[in-house]
Amino acid sequence: MILVTGGAGFIGGNFVLDWLKSPKNEGVVNVDKLTYAGNLATLESLRGDPRHIFIHGDIGDKELLARLLTEHQPRAIVNFAAESHVDRSIHGPAEFIQTNILGTFHLLECAREYWSGLDGLAKQVFRFHHISTDEVYGSLSSSDLAFTEKNAYEPNSPYSASKAASDHLVRAWFHTYGFPVVTTNCSNNYGPYHFPEKLIPLFILNALNGKPLPIYGDGQQIRDWLYVGDHCSAIREVLAKGKLGETYNVGGWNEKANLDVVKTICAILDELKPRSDGVSYISQITFVKDRPGHDRRYAIDASKLERELGWRPAETFDTGIRKTVQWYLDNPVWVDGVVSGSYRDWLQKQYQ
Ligand code: NAD
Ligand code: TYD
């Protein structure tokens, strides 16, 4: 088995679905707290599949983790579980400290205890793979080189600070205890099953629902976008071949200003599902107050992963974003399932 945490979320869910598509891969024990961002509908196609064991639980629950590790004897742990939305971290950082820092700490300690009790081959092959973000490196100016693994950590939001702290814990567990870890720092993901609080899914659904498309500030902030399936393939590579104690940047070589991303979404929707009045979705764009401490630019240099492990993304931004928009058009049932009362409360709080 492998044990995945946060596997009912956006990236973890895509990872579990991709992993189990291959009959040669082992089963997955999937531990998820099912916060607002966790959604079992994402895993619906695995219902009845004995290779997927879903456990509703918290990575901070030491007794539960110890029991699961003893019972299932996983050969690896992939830690996706986190609070992941910058805007929510600005409104309420406490959950971010709880799960991203303390939760990772408890998970590391339980995993280390389990690993210490292994011997022979089982001990030798065991891996703890920590999933992190490029946001730990802080913000770039337009002339700065893209982040490499050697950049200093300079997190600017409660979210990125909590992820940076978790990365440091993982690093320290390797150096101090020899605990076998790898960490990946990935750029902004997009694709199917993405909770519609983040830029791309929020704007696709707002556009279709005739709502404003609220761009923070001048819309010239830059992000590097990676299709989620490419992130999953990178994780599989690093899990299989990554060097212990190393970190690997994962990115799509797709730097885009937010306004350009939004215009691209509008253009695809104009083609695939034109508004009944014939007006472009671009007319729904509005500029709103900027996010406090908004990072200007992220850019990832993923050449280490390419050079050492031979990984390249399969999708360009043009192919990935088209697939993504099409997926939201094709999956109204999944969308209706996540657009709950608490989701509407969040939109009200954030966008008045
Ligand atoms: P998400 O918010 O969609 O999903 C997080 C999942 O973790 C949810 O299913 C939630 O229920 C679960 N969870 C939260 N707290 C938990 C806890 N205490 N115990 C167990 N489960 C818990 O996030 P995502 O976008 O899928 O991100 C997954 C990971 O990838 C995170 O660690 C995030 O920092 C990292 N990451 C995300 C991006 C991105 O663009 N989304 C980019 C780089 C890295
Ligand atoms: P987001 O998807 O929240 O990811 P992150 O903050 O982790 O990069 O936001 C991506 C970019 O889009 C970021 O620069 C903020 C911007 N943004 C808006 O302009 N309007 C919005 O409503 C949202 C959610 C994001």
Q: What stretches of the chain show up as alpha helix (H) in DSSP?
A: 10-21, 62-72, 86-91, 94-96, 104-116, 120-125, 158-177, 199-208, 228-241, 258-272, 303-309, 317-330, 332-338, 341-351
If you measure from the C-alpha of residue 7 to the centroid of ligand 1, how many angstroms do you get, rounded to a whole number?
Answer: 8
Task: Give the residue numbers annotated as catalytic, written as ranges.
Answer: 134-135, 159
Indicate if the pLDDT at residue 340 is higher than 90.
no
Q: Is the pLDDT of residue 335 over 90?
A: yes
The Å distance, Cα 188 to ligand 2 centre, comes to 10
Atom of ligand 1 lying closest to residue 194 CA: 3
- Cβ atoms within 10 Å of 104's Cβ, excluding its own: 27
Name the residue with tokens 């360009």.
316
- Among 165, 157, 34, CA closest to 93: 157
Residue 176 CA, ligand 1 centroid: distance in Å: 27
Residue nearest to atom 27 of ligand 1 (CA): 11
19-68: pLDDT as tens digits: 999 999 999 999 999 999 999 999 999 999 999 999 999 999 999 999 99
The alpha carbon of 333 and the centre of ligand 2 are apart by a number of angstroms equal to 25
Taking the CA of residue 215 as reference, the ligand 2 atom at the shortest distance is: 19
Name the burial class of residue 218, with classes exposed (0-12), middle (13-18) and buried (19+) by CB atoms within 10 angstroms of its CB: exposed
Mean pLDDT of the chain: 97
DSSP H helix total and E strand total for the chain: 14, 12
Residue type, 52: H
Residues 203-228 have pLDDT tens digits of 999 999 999 999 999 999 999 999 99
Answer with the residue of higher pLDDT: 348 or 118. Answer: 118
Q: Which of 234-238, 316-320, 337-341 has the lowest mean pLDDT?
A: 337-341
Q: Is the pTM here over 0.85, yes or no?
A: yes
* Beta-ladder partners of 128: 77, 181
Domains annotated on the chain, with CATH: 2-350 (3.40.50.720)
DSSP letter (8 states) at residue 191: S
Give the binding-site residues of ligand 1, using a 6 Å CB cut-off: 5-6, 8-12, 31-35, 37-38, 58-60, 80-82, 84, 99, 103, 131-133, 163, 186, 188-189, 195
